Structure 1
Amino acid sequence: MGHKTIIRIKRVFTFGFLALFFGCSNNSAEMFRQAQAEAELGSPVRAIELLTRIQNLDPTFTPAYLLAGKMFLDSGNPAAAIDQYKRGLIAGADSTEITRQIGQVYLKQNNLVDAYKYFGQTLNLDPQNIEALIGMAAVLYQQKLYAQAQKFYQQALAEEPKNYTAMNGVAYAYMAQKNIGGALEMFQKAIESNPVSGDAYVGKALALAKTSDVPLEQVQTAFEQAREMDPKNQEAAKTFIKFIDNSAFELDYQIDKTKAYLADFGGDTEALKFLGSLFIKKSKSDGPIWLDAAEQTYKRILSANPEDHEAHARLATIYILTDRPQLAVLRAKMAFEIEPTGTYAALVRQAEAVAARGKTP
């Protein structure tokens, strides 16, 4: 999902509870408890052996397939997890829970066709299944069918009015349909229902950034709060960097926030270019030492991508400003060779003119 809507698989049951819920035999339930213990103690092979025995002895014992699938997912083997779930379906285990789990796995793999199929199967069996409703909404959202996604999120809210994920989902669907007012209202409801989770704060900040009638200070505060509540959310952090590319913000503030973003999320080329441009601006008021910082920033970009023509061109400009015309010519020509535009041709001529003036007659 572009802004990334987060689907959380809520564990509203324990596998021990499921063992009782599905009315399985005492023997199966006891072996299942042993399998749970082995899994918790770090003995997955023994746990899988016990779960396989349960499946053979009591083929409809749903928790055995669910726990085995979860263990394979946790070990990074979704294909084996799906195989476990499908074995459960063939054996006649609880189809509602298993099809939902398969849908979740396919959704995480971005296999939207199969995710849609299995969430649909779950909803055919249980039209009020909240997690399947949310999963189906997520599939439709990623397919850019925002109005349809909104309907499924709203159905989930009808079943559970305080469902945090569904509230955020409705808000993002509103935002995708340019209903910013509706999005902000729903994000605020989500924040009020769960003030310690960062998702809604991030969404609110992203929505505010799309408005034109909200004071910059209010948007800035929203992003700062989102950053505090969800420091690992790169989408919000990057959107904030784009947002502060505005003359209303002080140059030092822009530099500090961009540095912080890069420290947290690594060498984002777009952010590095923005930082380099800020250093060049800073040099106009605070001296050429900031051109050195800009030079190192653009070289960092080229170390990752030697074909970045914009970085070559920026270095050419820096070399002209720092009286290194031969290097300027070299960089300008490299930019032009990679991207032969009129702008770069003019930069080559400028660098060559500066170099010619510096020659001894």
Structure 2
Amino acid sequence: MFFSACGLIGHGDRGPGPLASPAYSPPVNAYYLFAKAHLSLKKGDVDQAISLVRQALESDPDSAYLKRELAGMWLLKKNPQAAIAVLEEILASHPEDVDALILIGRIYQNIDEPVHAINAFSRVIALDPDQENIYLMLGGMYMDQEQWDQAQKVYQQLVTHFPGSYAGYFFLGRISAINGDSKTARAYFEKTLLLEPQLVESRFELGALYEADRHYRQAAAIYQDILKQNPGSIQAMMALGWVRHRQGMKKTAAKQFAELGRMSLEDEEVIRMLVRLYLDTREYEAAAVIIRGMLKAVPENSDLHYLAGVALDGTGEKQLAIEQLRSVAPGSHFFRNAAVHAALLYQEMEQLDKAIDFIQQTIAKDPQNPEFRLYLGSFYEQTEDYVDAEKALQAGLAIAPKNPRLYFRLGVVYDKWGKKDASIETMKQVIRYDPDNANALNYLGYTYADMGVNLDEAEQLIRKALEHKPGDGYITDSLAWVYYQRGEYEKALPLLEQAVSLVPDDPIVREHLGDVYARLGMTEKALDSYRRSIKNGHTDKAAVEEKIQLLTR
């Protein structure tokens, strides 16, 4: 979020106006132009305002105030680099201009250049230790960078200069907790509550620390205290139920979960809180217990069945996860995700027959969803049933005739089926509907390279794929293979060595590297690459062994 062009500055130079110090008053001409600039801003003409301030600076070129205002106007134009250039000009002649440092630090923070932002904010604190908000911003940036020691130093400075800063003590508590020092962390959070007794965030942090140390009674007391202040706190209800469950107080926990279950039918925040607190943080065991407890009260809640499936998958209970996912009703907005998740779990468990049967049942419930046909086709592809794979994918294309994912999968099926021409034409369709599809660009380019045809076009396709996926090992291998097919082995070698470093376990890439070494007379390296290719599970072991025999004769 950028800042307005006016009213940007805190203390210091306040610019032209009746209350301005004579030392800061610009010449009359500059003041007139500046006033006109603000009138232009009010009319929404930022370009005119910028032009007028530039003219004002011609009359008063040393005015830091005018330059700061100009920087603010560049921000209104969403041109942070221009604003930075103006502020750097100020700092070149006035390196202790705190207002310029604050503004440039905020800009760097907004454009995600933390090193420059940290430098600016550090200079502000050194020049003006009374900038309480800057300590918080600087400490927050160090925490974002996971530079815990530096963040801790900043927050220690903050509470030294501002002993009443509960925010400083709060973040010191967070850092201590991250460092595993729960005793010190608790002390800091308790300090925040002395300064700000209503600060519920500190109570939750304390509760979590007690939970982690298995001090469930103390944790429960904290969550109960939160609920006294705020009886509708969903987070506290979940936490208290989970703690009671861990204490062995299953009946008490069940009542808590049942209440949450009933609330979930009317308040969507319950679902959002479950996701944010337990699933996003991968607290799958707690999530599974809480959600299944809620479902006992509201077994018809499809959203909860879906979340239960996700949680149980996280705990490794895949069969139970599938049961929950299959309980999601077609009308639920989670139905598609649940169906795909269940099918992929069957696939993961190497039960492709069940995956196919389940997806077919799902299609019967939602026949107009092309994604289900995509997954059905991919399962048939995996069983090498290319006839049914083609039927499934073509049925999907009948519903969504411009779907690049369906075309891509169909192109792969044709390739595995030995229908190269059909594969090539289908990949062209992917690129027609999705010109920047790196996978299709690479697939088509590599197909040409492998066939030894259209090598110039192959190179163009693969280079375009690399623009979208720079540093991709497989695409790098494809480009090297174009050079190999041209006989340009010296060019292919560094690319293949790079590809192997990126995907060291791929047997085909290893084989390609061996081929180039062999062509360049580097026999020992070629043999090593071929042997590694076989070790990595090359599907045509006999062909690679034949290459080894040729080199060792």
Same fold (TM over 0.5): yes
What is the match of residue 223 of structure 1? 462
Residues 142 and 235 (structure 1), Cα distance of their counterparts in 2 relative to 1, 3 Å cut: farther
Residues 35 and 303 of structure 1: is their aligned pair in 2 closer, same or farther, counting only changes over 3 Å?
closer
Q: Take 1:278 and 1:41, find their aligned partners in 2: how far apart are those partners? A: 51
**SS in structure 2 at match of 1:106:** helix
2:434 to 194, 199, 207: 194
In structure 1, the partner of 2:397 is: 157
Pick closer, same or farther for the CA change 1:210–1:148 going to 2, 3 Å. farther
Offset at residue 134 of structure 1 (A): 0.9
The one-letter code matched in structure 2 to 1:255 is L
How much has 1:46 moved relative to structure 2?
Answer: 3.8
Cα distance in 2 for residues equivalent to 1:99 and 1:111: 15
Shift of 1:179: 4.2
Alignment-derived partner of residue 19 in structure 1: none
| 8 Å CA contact 1:32, 1:54 repeated in 2 | no
CA contact (8 A) 1:134 1:156 kept: yes
1:66 to 283, 303, 306: 306
d(CA) in 2 for partners of 1:167 and 1:191?
A: 9
Distance 1:191 1:146, change over 3 A: same
Name the counterpart of 2:517. 276
Question: Distance between the aligned counterparts of 1:303 and 1:144, measured in 2?
Answer: 27
Task: Tell me which residue corresponds to 1:207.
Answer: 447
The change in CA–CA distance for 1:266 and 1:207 in structure 2 (over 3 A counts) is closer
Larger radius of gyration: 2
User: Which has the higher relative contact order, 1 or 2, with Cα contacts under 8 A spaced 6 or more apart?
Assistant: 1
Of 355, 366, 371, 1:131 maps to 371
Is the CA contact (8 Å cut-off) linking 2:445 and 2:478 kept in structure 1? no
Q: Which amino acid aligns with 1:171?
A: G
Q: Percent identity?
A: 16
Q: 1:55 to 1:279 in 2, by over 3 A?
A: same
CA distance in 2, matches of 1:53, 1:100: 25
Q: CA deviation at 1:86?
A: 0.7
Aligned to 1:310: none
**2:518 is matched by which residue type in structure 1?**
S
Query: 295-304 or 37-46: which moved more?
Result: 295-304
SS at match of 2:402: coil
The 1:76–1:304 alpha-carbon spacing in structure 2 relative to 1, beyond 3 Å, is farther
Seen in structure 2, the aligned counterparts of structure 1 residues 33 and 261 have a Cα distance that, compared at 3 Å, is closer
Q: Which moved more, 1:237-246 or 1:101-110?
A: 237-246
Give the equivalent residue in structure 2 for 1:35.
274
Deviations 1:175-215 (A, max 9, x none): 34444444333323322433343221122224324656x43
Q: What are the ranges of 5 or more consecutive residues in structure 1 without an aligned counterpart?
A: 1-23, 281-290, 307-334, 348-361
Q: 1:59 to 1:253 in 2, by over 3 A?
A: same
Contact 1:245 1:254 in 2 (8 A): yes
Residues in 1 aligned to 2:451 and 2:513: alpha-carbon distance in whole angstroms: 26
CA drift of 1:141 comes to 1.3
Query: How far apart, in 1, do the equivalents of 2:291 and 2:532 lie?
Result: 51
Could you tell me how far 1:45 is from its partner in structure 2? Answer: 4.0
How big is each residue's C-alpha offset from its partner over 1:205-251, in whole Å with a ceiling of 9 and x where there is no partner? 24324656x432222332333344345765555555555443x3323
Instruction: Say whether 1:257 aligns with 2:495.
Output: yes
1:135 Cα offset (Å): 1.0
For the residue of structure 2 that corresponds to 1:127, the secondary structure is coil
How many angstroms apart in 2 are the aligned matches of 1:139 and 1:302? 32
TM-score, normalised with respect to structure 1 = 0.62
What SS does structure 1 have at the residue aligned with 2:387? helix
Change (3 A) 1:129 1:255: same
Q: TM-score, normalised by structure 2?
A: 0.42
